[in-house]
Structure 1
Amino acid sequence: MARRSRELTPDRSARHLFGSEVRRHRELAGMSLERLAEVVRYSRSHLSRIEVAEHMPPPDLAGRLDAAFGTDGHFERLYALARHEVHPDQYRRRMQLEAQARIIREYSGCFVPGLVQTEDYARAIFRSGGRKLTVSRIEELVAARMGRQALLRADSPPDLSIIIDEAVLRRPIGETDAWRGQLAELAAIVDTPTCIVQVLPFEHGEHGLLGGSLSLLTMDDGTTVAYEESITTGQLLEDPEIVGTCQRTYDLITAYALPPSDTAALIYTAMEELPS
C-alpha cells in the first residue's frame, strides 16, 4: 500500500509555502521523492522533511530545484523569504527538534538547563519570576519539564554536552536540601558515556553568550539548529550561516571551560559550602 502523503499548509509561513511548492512541482513533473533526490543530490528523507516544513531548506537546494524544474528563480525567491522568517511556533518546534536530536549542546549562564534539572529545582524556578502561577499550573510545568528528560533515559539517548557559567553554582536556588540535590545530580553526570558537564569560570571574563542561553540541536542527518533564550524571549535559528556563528561561539566557550574533573571538584566544593 502506498504511503499517504502528509497534508501541507502553505498558508502558515514562507517555509511551508516552499515545501508545498516543492511537492507541487515534483508531482507536476511526475517525479517521486527518490527520483528528485537523485537529481538534486539530497537524501529522500531530507527532501521529505523539507516538503512538510520540518526542516529549513539548505542554501544551495533552491538553485538545484529551479534547475530541476526549470522554474527560473522561483525557489530562490521563496528561499530568500523563508530564511529570514521566524518560525510560527518557535518553542513547540524547539521541543520537537530536541526530542529528535542526536547531539544536544547547551550553554546556560543563569540556571541549570531544563534537561538536567531536578523536580525541586524546577519547581523553585517556576515559583520565581513574579508570574503569579497557581500551584496546579506550577505542577503542570514541572511535570512537563521532567517529561522532557525521558529522552536521556531512552535505549539510544542523544549525546549531551552542557556548559554552565560559574554563576550557576554560586547562586543557590530553592531550599538548601533542594539545591544540594541539584548539585549532586550535576556531579553525577559530569562525565558519563553520553553526557559531559563543564563550568565556564569567572576568571575567563567576557564571552559571546553573556546574559543568555544557547541550545544547539543536531539531527541524525547532520542538520543543526540553534535556540537562543533570554529572560522573556526565545528564538529558533535555522539559517545555516547564523547557526554556524552560534556553533563557533559555543566552540570558543568550550575551549575556555574547565575540564569535567575540575568541574566536578568545583561542584563538590559548592556542596561542602552549604549549611548543614
Structure 2
Amino acid sequence: MPGSRDLDPSSSPRALLGAELRHAREKAGLSQEELGQRLFVSGSFIGQLEAGTRRLQREYARLLDEVLGTEDFFQRNCAAAAKSKYPEHFAEAVEAETEATAIREYTSMLIPGLLQTPAYARAVSRAYQPSAAEEAIEALVAGRMERARILGDPTKPLLWTVIDEAALRRVTGGPEVMTGALRHLIGLIRRNRVIVQVLPFDAGAHPGMQGCVRVMDFDGAPPLAYLEGVDTGQLEDDPATVARYRLYFEFLTASALPPEKSLALLEAMAQDYGHEEHA
C-alpha cells in the first residue's frame, strides 16, 4: 500500500506520484472516470495526474487519500512534487511542456519564452518588474533559459509557433537585443528545430487578438490548452475547450505567412535592426 513510504524527490516526483496513483486506483478497482467522479473532476484529469503532465494540488491529494484509503500518502508527497522555481500560476504549464510531444503556440506581444535569448528575456523581465532587485531578474532569466533546454532534443517536442508581427516590431531591449533575438530565432528555424510563422499586420482580425494560444499534446495523456494573462494562467483539459483553441491555432496558421516567407521577413528585420545598432 502506498501509504507506508515517501517518494524520492530526486527521481522525478511527479512521475513517481502519478505511478503510485495509478497503482492505488487500480488496486481500488476504479477506472479513471470513476475516480474522477469521486473527486468531481474528469477522467482525463486523473489520466494527466497519472501521466505526470499535471501537478497534484493539495486539495485533490486529501481527497485521493480519503477515496483510495492511502492514509496521508498523497498529502505528504504532493509537496515534493509541487516544488518549483516558477510562479504558481505558471509552474504547472512549465511542467507539462517538459512532457509534451508537441507544442503549438501563438504569441501577440513578445517572442515565445522557449525561443528567447537571455538578453531579450532580461529586457522582458525588467519591463514586468521595473523595481525588482537585479538578483530577482537574473533568477527569472535563468528559469526561462532552463525551460529552453527541452529544445536540446533534436526532434521532441515539435514546436510550432505563430508570432504576431507586433511582437517582432516592438523594440524590446533596443536594436542590439532585437538583432540577437531574431538571429537566434533564425538559427533554430534553419536547424529545423522549430516551425515559425509570422502573422502580418495585414492579416486583419483573427482569433488570437485577445491573448496567447497554447495547445500541448502528450503520449498516453489527453491534450491540454494553456490560457495566460497578466500574473495569471490556467491549464484546461476540457476536450471541447482544447478543441476550440486548437481550431484557433489552425485559423492563425492559415492567416500567417508560410514558413519560407516568414523566415525571409525575419532575416530582413534582423538586418534592419543590425543597421540601427551600428547607426
* Bigger Rg over Cα: 1
Q: Within 1, Cα distance between the matches of 2:94 and 2:124?
A: 19
Could you tell me the percent identity over the aligned residues?
Answer: 33
> What is the TM-score of this pair, normalised by structure 2?
0.69
3-state SS in 1 of match to 2:128: coil
Q: Which residue of structure 2 aligns with residue 245 of structure 1?
A: 244
Q: Which residue of structure 2 aligns with residue 27 of structure 1?
A: 27
3-state SS in 1 of match to 2:159: strand
Deviation at 1:130, TM superposition (A): 4.5
Q: Which residue of structure 2 aligns with residue 162 of structure 1?
A: 161
Q: Within 2, Cα distance between the matches of 1:115 and 1:190?
A: 13
What amino acid maps onto 1:133 in structure 2? A
Q: Which residue of structure 2 aligns with residue 233 of structure 1?
A: 232
What amino acid maps onto 2:141 in structure 1? V
CA contact (8 A) 2:90 2:232 kept: no
Deviation at 1:244, TM superposition (A): 0.5
Q: Which residue of structure 2 aligns with residue 259 of structure 1?
A: 258
Deviation at 1:264, TM superposition (A): 1.3
- 2:116 counterpart of 1:117: yes
Distance change (3 Å), C-alpha of 1:50 and 1:178: closer
Query: Equivalent residues in 2 for 1:134-173 (5 A)?
Result: 134-154=133-153, 156-173=155-172
In structure 1, list runs of 5 or more residues that go unmatched: 9-15, 34-45, 57-88
Deviation at 1:179, TM superposition (A): 1.2
Q: Within 1, Cα distance between the matches of 2:152 and 2:90?
A: 22
Q: Which residue of structure 1 aligns with residue 272 of structure 2?
A: 273
In structure 2, list runs of 5 or more residues that go unmatched: 8-16, 33-44, 56-87
Distance change (3 Å), C-alpha of 1:183 and 1:54: closer
Deviation at 1:193, TM superposition (A): 3.4
The alignment's C-alpha RMSD in Å is 3.4
Q: Within 1, Cα distance between the matches of 2:27 and 2:192?
A: 46
Distance change (3 Å), C-alpha of 1:191 and 1:6: farther
Q: Within 2, Cα distance between the matches of 1:146 and 1:158?
A: 16
What amino acid maps onto 1:27 in structure 2? K
Query: Equivalent residues in 2 for 1:176-255 (5 A)?
Result: 176-190=175-189, 192-221=191-220, 223-255=222-254
CA contact (8 A) 1:191 1:197 kept: no
Deviation at 1:267, TM superposition (A): 1.2
Q: Which residue of structure 2 aligns with residue 128 of structure 1?
A: 127
Deviation at 1:223, TM superposition (A): 2.2
Q: Within 1, Cα distance between the matches of 2:261 and 2:202?
A: 14
CA contact (8 A) 2:47 2:221 kept: no
Q: Within 2, Cα distance between the matches of 1:5 and 1:240?
A: 36
What amino acid maps onto 2:218 in structure 1? M
Distance change (3 Å), C-alpha of 1:137 and 1:55: closer
CA contact (8 A) 1:199 1:258 kept: yes
How many residue pairs get aligned? The number is 220
Q: Within 2, Cα distance between the matches of 1:238 and 1:183?
A: 33
Deviation at 1:124, TM superposition (A): 0.3
